[in-house]
Amino acid sequence: MYKKFRLLAFIFLSGVAVASGQTENSPYSRYGLGDQMRTQNIINRGMGGFSAAYGDYQSVNFTNPASYGRIKATVLDIGVEVNTSTMRALNPPRKFSSASPNISYVTVGIPLSRKRDWGVVVGLRPMSRISYQLERNERNTSGTLNDSINSIFRGEGGTQQVFIGMGFGVKNLRLGINAGYLFGSKDYSTRTTFINDSVLYYRSLHGTTTNFGGLLLNGGLQYTIKLNKDTRLHAGAFGSLKQTMKGNRTILRETFVPTAEDEPQRVDSVSTQKDIRGDMIYPASYGFGLMLDRESKWMIGADFTQTNWNDYRFFGEKDFVQNSWKVHVGGQIIPNALNGKNYWNRVAYRAGFNYGTDYVNVDGDMPTYAVTFGMGLPMRPPAYTKQFAVINLGLEYGRRGDKNSTVRESFFAISLGLNLSDIWFQKRKYY
């Protein structure tokens, strides 16, 4: 059984690597910093995304750094995902689909003290992605020529964060902080072609490339109340303040001819503006929630999160964004964690949902909602008390937008997480 699950993990990770060459096309990623990546680990995603009060010794809950104090063994936590989406536009009516594999996060958690609740985490994770290509054909009725105009709009980029965090606990209270560097790019271009039967025009390219980065801090706290011998109530909160980051922009205007690979080959540079300095204001965000659990049996929880995107500015521009919020509800049950004979009794079964408003605001509020399912599949027998290896599977189906939205999206995501604390992480003792 355990060898089969190791093979399953390898096949899934290999599939993500092969599929990484596929093209994603998300028109909404044109706005703000692009489509926002999920901000929870795979365990929490399977439970609707609640994470404010969550923490355990087998995984890294980077959403709330206060949870790092619960890490009891060195753990490697890796997450990958494959997202598929179908877009439906109202005017003109059309439909298109895309797929995008991504690495969700790579984190390592290390307990600094086994006697005290004190842990440190280092990690890397993508925060957002930009990937779209749209084409428009229209007639140019101005002037003396009645040409057709073909315009192709492209966008690439996104943001990533590398961070280090620390969490510690004193009795029932835990505190934590993440210090990271957020960096990214936005590369937008418009390629225009005038089509005329008797006149040959060079094609034009207008491109804007912006690179940016800066320090990003966020903190959190958790508090535990023991209700009886096995049942506990946890409260948690996390957040970050509005922060300003530096950027550098290049604007290019040129004429070109296409190559066989459909890449532009410059004919003449009309204008180039380099080293344009500016600021990006990254918005404040916060979340809070509760979790009730019985150790190794079950848990239920709920969160509320909000990000103040009204404060977002990119080189002084606001863009079509607004404050976003979301409610996350979910739970987990393990039939019998110590049953060595029946494997499926030791599997963690998870489910949940979330609902809120998206931060993109092109033609009014855009609701978003999803249902989630998940499983925690142990890869070792229960006799391994100090070593564990778990495959966490997450499934999410949801929608973005409603009947009033110009473009509606339905999406399905498969996420896979590997939590490893094996012999190579443990300090060996010889007698």
Tell whether the model's pLDDT for residue 21 goes beyond 60: no
Q: How confident is the model at residue 128 (pLDDT cuts 50, 70, 90)?
A: very high
Residue 252 CA to residue 259 CA, distance in Å, equals: 19
Give the pLDDT of residue 382.
Answer: 56
Indicate the SS3 state at residue 2: helix
Tell whether the model's pLDDT for residue 305 goes beyond 60: yes
Tell whether the model's pLDDT for residue 202 goes beyond 50: yes
Tell whether the model's pLDDT for residue 33 goes beyond 90: yes
Tell whether the model's pLDDT for residue 398 goes beyond 80: yes
Q: How confident is the model at residue 22 (pLDDT cuts 50, 70, 90)?
A: very low
Cis peptide before 335 (omega within 30 of 0): no
Tell whether the model's pLDDT for residue 204 goes beyond 90: no
DSSP notation for 10-47? HHHHHHHHHHTTSPP--GGGGSTTSEEPP-S-HHHHTT
Specify the range with the lowest mean pLDDT, choosing from 101-105, 342-346, 427-431: 427-431
Tell whether the model's pLDDT for residue 359 goes beyond 60: yes
**72's tokens:** 């009891």
Average confidence score pLDDT of the chain: 85
Give the pLDDT of residue 16.
Answer: 47
Where do the domains of the chain lie, and which CATH numbers do they carry? 2-425 (2.40.160.60)
Q: How confident is the model at residue 217 (pLDDT cuts 50, 70, 90)?
A: very high
Indicate the SS3 state at residue 162: strand
* Strand stretches in 227-347, DSSP E: 231-240, 243-258, 264-282, 285-294, 298-307, 313-314, 324-333
Give the pLDDT of residue 268.
Answer: 63
Q: How large is the average pLDDT for residues 69-92? A: 88
pLDDT (tens digit per residue) in 221-266: 999 999 998 899 999 999 999 999 999 999 988 876 666 566 666 6
Specify the range with the lowest mean pLDDT, choosing from 128-132, 214-218, 298-302, 384-388: 384-388
Indicate the SS3 state at residue 198: coil
Give the pLDDT of residue 18.
Answer: 41
Residue 49 CA to residue 372 CA, distance in Å, equals: 9
Tell whether the model's pLDDT for residue 198 goes beyond 90: no
Tell me 318's DSSP state: -
Q: How confident is the model at residue 75 (pLDDT cuts 50, 70, 90)?
A: very high
Give the pLDDT of residue 156.
Answer: 93
Give the pLDDT of residue 431.
Answer: 46
* Bridge partners, residue 39, by sequence: none
Give the pLDDT of residue 27.
Answer: 85
Tell whether the model's pLDDT for residue 413 goes beyond 80: yes
Q: How confident is the model at residue 141 (pLDDT cuts 50, 70, 90)?
A: low
pLDDT (tens digit per residue) in 313-342: 999 999 999 999 999 999 999 998 777 678
Specify the range with the lowest mean pLDDT, choosing from 30-39, 96-105, 213-222: 96-105
